[in-house]
Amino acid sequence: MKRLILYAGLVLTLTVRPPGAAVSAQDGTGPAGQQNEEGPTLVISYGLNAGAYFAHDGTANYYNGSGRHNLEEAINRRHNYNRIRESLNYDFELHQLPADMAYSPAIMVGIFGGLHFTDRTALYGSANFTRLSAQDQFTLELNRPSFIEGDNIKAYSVYGKEERSEIMIGLRHVYHSSQSYLHPYFELGGSMTGTRIRQNGIRIEGSTYTIRKPADRYYNVRDDGIGFGVWAGSGVRMDVGESYAFDLGVNSNYTRINLGEHNNYQLQFTLFVRLYLSHGPSRAG
């Protein structure tokens, strides 16, 4: 995905029409004010985008230790059990797994490009990347003698980390106003989301243990999946010059996130700002 973003940025840089050509495509005149006999031409815009990504929590329980990567199995492996027992000073057993793990908001970065058919309508595409973290607590029960006072139930952290790459393609319509530099817009299209698991582990008394299967780690098995969906977004575009503009907006992506048995369609939200390095038509003709 990182290579895709770099290649796409290079292609956009090599193919983008200079800002003066955007005006030519819009009003039908050449750089010297001469009439353009070829008529309107397609204009390319491109730039960078960044924002806050809010993942649906429906897939977060993939990391709670109840599925393929089993927490009880992990803590009872001989090497892990001996280390944990030494840190706790007692034998122990799993007491309870979390049932409602949740993702933390994450930073999203990416690139985008548009092919403008008119000063209002364009074919838009973006490639975005984000890293997500999910965390909650599980409990262990210590097998301490009854005459020793204290709580035998101890809570510790279980966590998961994943990477998501989005490719989103769709149509965009801008409601231009010749009296303002603010232009509302609406977008709609299809998406493809790739998910890759990076970590799934627990923390006990300052030490970290992975709960992924040893065979998966030994053979470098990739734990990932691809899902498809639809998305829609809206916001406000702000023109700040002949070659630069900003978008402030939000979009929702109704897509499948493939994580084992947790693979239902769910809404993911993004709040973002886009920086146009070349923005094509900027106002109605």
DSSP labels, 219-256: TT---EEEEEEEEEEEEEEEE-SSS-EEEEEEEEEEEE
What are the structure tokens assigned to 49, written together?
Answer: 């985008």
Could you tell me if residue 284 is inside a domain? no
Could you tell me if residue 110 is inside a domain? yes
What are the structure tokens assigned to 77, written together?
Answer: 């492996």
Range of the domain at 225: 2-278
CA distance linking residue 262 with residue 249, whole number of Å: 29
Could you tell me if residue 25 is inside a domain? yes
Ranges of the chain with pLDDT below 70: 1-41, 242-243, 279-285
Side chain identity at residue 117, one-letter code: F
Could you tell me if residue 283 is inside a domain? no
Could you tell me if residue 264 is inside a domain? yes
pLDDT value for 186: 96
> Residue 45 in contact with residue 18, Cβ under 8 Å?
no
Q: What is the CATH number of the domain that holds 101?
A: 2.40.160.20
pLDDT value for 216: 76
pLDDT value for 177: 75
Strand partners, 113: 46, 125
pLDDT value for 97: 96
Structurally, how many domains does the chain consist of? Answer: 1
Beta carbons within 10 angstroms of residue 234's beta carbon? 14
Could you tell me if residue 285 is inside a domain? no
**What tens digit of pLDDT does each residue of 104-124 get?**
999 999 999 999 998 899 999
**SS3 per-residue string spanning 91-148:** CEEEEECCCCCEECCEEEEEEEEEEECCCCEEEEEEEEEEEEEEEEEEEEEECCCCCC
Strand partners, 171: 123, 188
pLDDT value for 1: 52
Distance, CA of 96 to chain centre: 30
Mean pLDDT computed over every residue of the chain:
84
Q: β-strands 121-142, 102-103: how paired?
A: antiparallel
Straight-line distance from the first to the last Cα atom of the chain, in angstroms, rounded to the nearest whole number:
38
Could you tell me if residue 269 is inside a domain? yes
> Residue 233 in contact with residue 251, Cβ under 8 Å?
yes
| pTM of the full structure | 0.80
